Amino acid sequence: MKILSYNVNGIRAALKKGFIDWLKAANPDVICLQETKAHKEQLDLTLFEEAGYRYHYWFSAQKKGYSSVAILCKTEPNHVEYGTAIETMDFEGRNLRVDYDDYSIMSLYLPSGTNDARLDFKLNYMDEFQEYVNDLKKTIPNLVICGDYNICHEDIDIHNSKMKGVSGFLPAERSWIGSFIESGFIDSFRSLNKEPDNYSWWSYRANARNNNKGWRIDYCMVSEPLKDTLKRAFILPEAKHSDHCPIGVEIT
């Protein structure tokens, strides 16, 4: 099973940049999308179906053109779960899950903390999400939670580790993602790749991507019971449909 995750920063914009041709070439079994910024009624869904993804699921924010997640699948899942049933989360369309026999895959888009109000929202979301996942693991222990966490965990995950006062690298955020991992998850990429300078997001400013001044804020978190099935984890920086790039994991 090859699973990709990609914050596309607007699926309609990504489509204009060759997303479908890239998707066919990448050929994942499942791809989790974040920040699609669209309702499915605004899309030509046959594009995805003709690319091999007959089963596609969209969970959009109430506000059009904002947030929203999707999952495209080659094989029909047993069940699809839209949202978390937590009122403070679901109106922004940030969680979508597909369940298969041996594991479940979630597309997650954690909020960014761009100002004080949004930072408070993000911190509350993180706490509620942790409680939600703790409960979810009681019935679904085999989880792959892919997405944009909007947090760099360690110094190695950011090009400038002095940026400790910036949301995405705040001590409270870093502590939370550390605790999330300790609650029973594996940061699949970092567990298999110890090298620096591997990032998944770059600012559009100051030629950051060409200079590889990036942040690793996208993760495929794999729950501990799936540890022995984890075969490969990777980042695909050559894909340039967004300010993020895709990440992926292969499990057996």
Q: What tens-digit pLDDT sequence spans the chain (252 residues)?
A: 999 999 999 999 999 999 999 999 999 999 999 999 999 999 999 999 999 999 999 999 999 999 999 999 999 999 999 999 998 899 999 999 999 999 999 999 999 998 889 999 999 999 999 999 999 999 999 999 999 999 999 999 999 999 999 999 999 999 999 999 999 999 999 999 999 999 999 999 999 999 999 999 999 999 999 999 999 999 999 999 999 999 999 999
pLDDT confidence of residue 20: 98
- Closest to 92 measured CA to CA, from 71, 114, 124, 69: 69
By the 10 Å C-beta count (0-12 exposed, 13-18 middle, 19+ buried), 100 is classed as middle
Say which amino acid occupies 153. H
Instruction: Enter the tokens of residue 31.
Output: 């791809």
For the annotated catalytic residues, the residue numbers are: 148
Give pTM, 2 decimals.
0.98
Q: Which residues contact 36 (CB under 8 A, 6 or more apart)?
A: 8, 10, 11, 58, 60, 68, 69, 70
Q: Which residues contact 87 (CB under 8 A, 6 or more apart)?
A: none
What DSSP designation does 114 have?
Answer: -
pLDDT confidence of residue 175: 98
Dihedral angle sign, alpha carbons of residues 97, 75, 57, 222: positive
CATH homologous superfamily of 2-251 equals Endonuclease/exonuclease/phosphatase (3.60.10.10)
pLDDT confidence of residue 28: 98
pLDDT confidence of residue 114: 87
User: Packing angle between helix 116-139 and helix 171-182, nearest 10 degrees?
Assistant: 0
Dihedral angle sign, alpha carbons of residues 68, 98, 237, 16: negative
